[in-house]
């Protein structure tokens, strides 16, 4: 029986780590993707929804619904971040709120033309959190949640259905930072300040504190130094031509970390992981200098609560092979 999956992703596009991860999951054999739920994260929700819809057209997967989710975090706001930065220093990255970056704007409802072409597919009318709850109730114990975004949609789903952690099969999220070995400026500034967990810390706390049957986390430690290089995309091209490979050729950034692709691939095939650890994860909610940082605590021997499974290293060669294979639809 096909594994049932809901993809929760901030689908910044075109063809970056966010959407390449979605494509891997859509192309993987033996999966039934129930839907893609989209919160604000790297960009505003409404613009990202359009990128997701366009990707579905490119992959010829119009049957997969795209459901708009949270437009804003539960509590955090641009004004909150500005006040924090005045006291503690400028953050390297603020996602949708990084108005100094090209292609960002202040109005969350504004949408602009897409470089890859505007979609004809419409988004679904149902709200993301309602969809997640409805699918979990309809298929108890069968639905996996894969999240590569800030955790706002899942926190809202938890508010609607506190039994969600026992209704779904598992949660696999990309987020957090434990002790990354990297020269990236963002993590030299503070190695535990990772965007997905920090953008909506209250949502992160709510989700990580919930009693999931199984919680797996792909922190940036496992993916920061794995790069989408020219050799990788040449291997994708050599395997065959398609609308998606041409999309990658034109739009995929080179030499950037493959954060979400690794998280997707290790959900598809967790034998790629070569180093696991277990720990309790949380984020700092106090509005001081450590606000939004990843907190890691070793599990107590007698606890009845399941810790998170942390992926800390993978077989990069096998990952690259899987990436190339799943950049083409399953036959």
Q: pTM value?
A: 0.97
Domain ranges of the chain: 3-326
**Amino acid 304: pLDDT:** 59
Confidence of residue 27 (pLDDT cuts 50, 70, 90): very high
Average pLDDT over residues 130-155: 99
Q: Are strands 170-174 and 66-68 parallel, antiparallel or unpaired?
A: unpaired
Class of domain 3-326: alpha beta
Please choose, from the candidates 133, 139, 142, the residue with its C-alpha nearest in 3D space to the C-alpha of residue 160.
133
- Crossing angle (nearest 10°) for helices 259-268 and 316-326: 90
Model pLDDT for residues 191-216, shown as the tens digit of each residue:
899 999 999 999 999 999 999 999 99
Beta strands in 167-289 (DSSP E): 170-174, 215-218, 273-283
Q: What confidence tens digit (pLDDT) does each residue in 282-325 have?
A: 999 999 999 999 999 987 755 656 899 999 999 999 999 999 99
- CA dist 245 and 23 (Å) reads 11
What is the average pLDDT across 166-186?
Answer: 91
Q: How far apart are CA 144 and CA 170, in angstroms?
A: 5
Whether 280 shows a pLDDT value over 90: the answer reads yes
Cβ neighbour number for residue 145 with a 10 Å cutoff: 26
Whole-angstrom Cα distance, residue 325 to residue 331? 11
Are residues 214 and 88 in contact, defined by beta-carbon separation less than 8 angstroms? no
Q: Does the CA dihedral 85-86-87-88 come out positive or negative?
A: positive
Beta carbons of 236 and 212 less than 8 angstroms apart: no
CA distance 305 to 281: 12
Can you give the pLDDT at residue 302? 54
Question: Would you say residue 183 has pLDDT above 90?
Answer: no
């Amino acid at each position: 029986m096909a594994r049932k999956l809901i993809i929760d992703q901030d689908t910044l596009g075109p063809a970056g780590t966010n959407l390449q991860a979605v494509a891997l999951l859509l192309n993987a054999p033996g999966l039934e993707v129930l839907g893609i739920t989209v919160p604000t994260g790297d960009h505003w929700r409404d613009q990202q929804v359009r990128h997701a819809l366009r990707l579905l057209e490119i992959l010829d997967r119009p049957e997969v619904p795209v459901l708009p989710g949270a437009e804003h975090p539960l509590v955090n706001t641009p004004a909150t971040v500005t006040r924090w930065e005045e006291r503690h220093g400028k953050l390297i990255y603020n996602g949708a709120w990084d108005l100094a970056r090209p292609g960002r704007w202040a109005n969350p409802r504004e949408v602009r033309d897409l470089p890859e072409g505007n979609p004809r597919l419409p988004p679904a009318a149902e709200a993301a959190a309602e969809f997640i709850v409805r699918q979990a109730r309809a298929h108890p114990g069968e639905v996996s949640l894969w999240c590569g975004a800030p955790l706002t949609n899942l926190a809202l789903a938890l508010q609607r259905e506190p039994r969600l952690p026992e209704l779904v099969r598992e949660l696999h999220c990309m987020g957090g930072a434990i002790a990354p070995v990297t020269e990236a400026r963002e993590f030299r500034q503070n190695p535990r300040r990772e965007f997905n967990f920090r953008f909506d810390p209250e949502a992160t706390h709510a989700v990580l504190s919930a009693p999931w049957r199984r919680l797996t986390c792909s922190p940036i430690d496992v993916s920061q130094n794995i790069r989408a290089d020219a050799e990788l995309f040449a291997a994708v091209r050599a395997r065959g031509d398609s609308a998606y490979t041409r999309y990658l050729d034109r739009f995929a950034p080179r030499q950037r970390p493959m954060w979400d692709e690794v998280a997707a691939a290790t959900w598809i095939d967790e034998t790629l992981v070569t180093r696991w650890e277990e720990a309790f994860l949380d984020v700092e909610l106090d509005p001081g200098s450590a606000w939004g940082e990843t907190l890691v605590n070793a599990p107590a021997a007698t606890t009845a609560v399941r810790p998170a499974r942390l992926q800390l290293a993978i077989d990069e060669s096998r990952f690259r092979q899987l990436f190339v294979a799943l950049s083409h639809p399953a036959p």
